[in-house]
Amino acid sequence: MSRHQEIDPIEAARRLFAGPVEFRLSAPALEFLPDPKVPEVAFAGRSNVGKSSLLNALTGRHGLARASTTPGRTQELNVFDVGAPMRFRLIDMPGYGYAKAPKDVVARWQALVFDYLRGRVVLKRVLLLIDARHGVKPVDNEVMDLLDKAAVSYQLVLTKADKIKPSELEKTLAAADAAARSHAAAFPQVLATSSEVGTGIAELRAAVAAAAGELV
């Protein structure tokens, strides 16, 4: 029996993320990424979805992912090493769908993301973040189509759940569930989270650790 089976997944994941998590590098293109030697779990979502805040909440580190004040500015893959010795990596993907982004920025985003999704053999899962106030937008659906095409397993995660009433959250969850079920590569379970009040963060840690192959 592996030592992970003796404690529950939530506790195992909590311990994992309580250990070292280090920023490794920012990669403007695939060739700048570290050698693909450990599993990777990537985070994607529209600009301002709350991705930096969620990464900080997940890892319990305030300044780990920079909460950017300029939506759409970050155009690189930010890589974080989890564990010492390193067990797996978190990949912070550039935000998408910023209406004012110039065309070349959008084209660069697509090229980088597509290269990564198609070409990264160690990518185990993408967590696709959706603002709970807005639900799944057409641009999110486009990204889900892209993920289906790249045959990358992905899971929807609602962010900022504290910003809406529980009854509205239920509706958004049901709609996100339906969206996930209509996509081939989407993981059926949708998680609701709040970085602000901590809702769903422990479950998200367990989902990330499981996707990285840590809880088997």
- Residues lying near ligand GDP in the complex (CB under 6 A) are found at 45, 47-53, 67-68, 71, 95, 159-160, 162-163, 194-196
d(CA 182, CA 28): 32
Least Å from the CB of residue 153 to ligand GDP? 22
Nearer to ligand GDP, 148 or 196 (CB): 196
Least Å from the CB of residue 91 to ligand GDP? 14
Nearer to ligand GDP, 68 or 83 (CB): 68
Query: Using an 8 Å Cβ cutoff, are 16 and 83 in contact?
Result: yes
Query: Using an 8 Å Cβ cutoff, are 112 and 28 in contact?
Result: yes
Least Å from the CB of residue 197 to ligand GDP? 7
Least Å from the CB of residue 84 to ligand GDP? 26
Nearer to ligand GDP, 9 or 50 (CB): 50
Least Å from the CB of residue 94 to ligand GDP? 10
Least Å from the CB of residue 5 to ligand GDP? 32
Q: Using CB atoms within 10 A of its CB, is residue 193 exposed (0-12), middle (13-18) or buried (19+)?
A: buried
Nearer to ligand GDP, 15 or 66 (CB): 66
Nearer to ligand GDP, 89 or 193 (CB): 193
Query: Using an 8 Å Cβ cutoff, are 132 and 172 in contact?
Result: yes
d(CA 46, CA 48): 6
Nearer to ligand GDP, 184 or 197 (CB): 197
Alpha-carbon distance values, 74 to 47, 80, 201, 210 (Å): 9, 16, 24, 28
| Range list of H helices, the chain | 9-18, 51-59, 103-119, 138-150, 166-181, 201-211
CA 201, 171, 164, 140 torsion-angle sign: positive
